[in-house]
Copies of this chain bind each other. A is one copy, B any other.
Amino acid sequence: MKSGKHVMLLALLCVGASAPSIAQSPPPPATEFISEFVIANRILADQGVIADGFGHLSARSPNDPNHFYMSRARAAGMVTVADVMEFDLGGQPLDQRDRRLFSERFIHAEIYKARPEVNSVVHSHAPTLLPFGLTGTSLRPVSHMAGFLARAAPVFEIREVGGNDTDMLVSTPKLGAALAKTLGQTPIILMRGHGFNTVGTSVKQAVSRAIYAEVNARILMEALKMGNVVYLNESEAAKIAKKSPMPQ
């Protein structure tokens, strides 16, 4: 196993690494963990999942399950180690200084509260996912890389909890909790007119699910125009989801 800090997560996200996963290892010291977290931000930007500068990634602290890491408000492709901040599950920063925060950090905080096994959350505005949340067309798995979509992705309609005149942002604990409730035990949730979130037991799982949710959306979008689509059945989806894209 290569021990270089900066390339490790990149390697984990590719299939070439024989390294044990983060979850299987004892928690690495924070600096290595943060370095990998930064690389994961860059990967999300590189893959077009957070291409617009406004999505965000978080990771539960390996040292304290009631804390999570997230960048100060800045484009994922520009995040550096110095931008990473620590938050509590109320969404409050431990050391804000003069740094601007993402207003939607409550998406992350409330999911961590509701789902103890979740250790990472991606929030994305990827354009290819939006149409599914806008039209009632189910996002279901057509690629074996997206077995985790076995059950059609739930859609968060902010009007159901916030009424018809919100600003669309999940910027309060109440809205975050409602979103976490709609997410339930699933790995992905669409947000109508906004984007989507994936969760995982590790950064690599949440990130790779976000990447393949986007790929699956592109495939399904075109397949639906051609005719009747054969989806992965429940058994196929469940079995491949245990192996791919990232088991944990």
Contact = CB atoms under 8 A, between A and B. Distances in A.
Contacts of A127: 143, 215, 218-219, 222
Contact of A16 (B72, B169, B244): B72
A193 B135 contact: no
A243 B16 contact: no
Contact of A168 (B78, B83, B147): B147
Contact of A134 (B73, B142, B145, B211): B142
A137 interface: yes
Given A194-B143, A222-B131, A53 B169 contact: no
| Oligomer copy total | 4
A185 interface: no
A88 to B, nearest CB: 21
Query: What is the interface residue range for chain A against chain B?
Result: 35 or more
A229 interface: yes
Interface in A186-236: 192-194, 211-212, 215, 218-219, 221-233, 235-236
Contacts of A16: 72-75, 78, 83, 100
B134 A229 contact: yes
A98 B166 CA distance: 53
Nearest to A241: B167
Interface in A131-182: 131-132, 134-137, 141-145, 147, 164-169
A215 B137 CA distance: 20
Given A100-B15, A167-B240, A135 B75 contact: no
Contacts of A226: 131-132, 134-135, 137, 221, 224
26 contacts: A13-B53, A14-B74, A14-B75, A16-B72, A16-B75, A16-B83, A52-B211, A52-B212, A54-B245, A125-B143, A127-B222, A130-B142, A130-B143, A130-B219, A136-B228, A142-B193, A143-B194, A164-B233, A165-B233, A167-B239, A168-B236, A168-B240, A169-B243, A193-B231, A193-B236, A225-B225
Interface of A: 13-18, 52-54, 72-75, 78, 83, 98-100, 102, 125, 127-128, 130-132, 134-137, 141-145, 147, 164-169, 192-194, 211-212, 215, 218-219, 221-233, 235-236, 239-240, 242-245
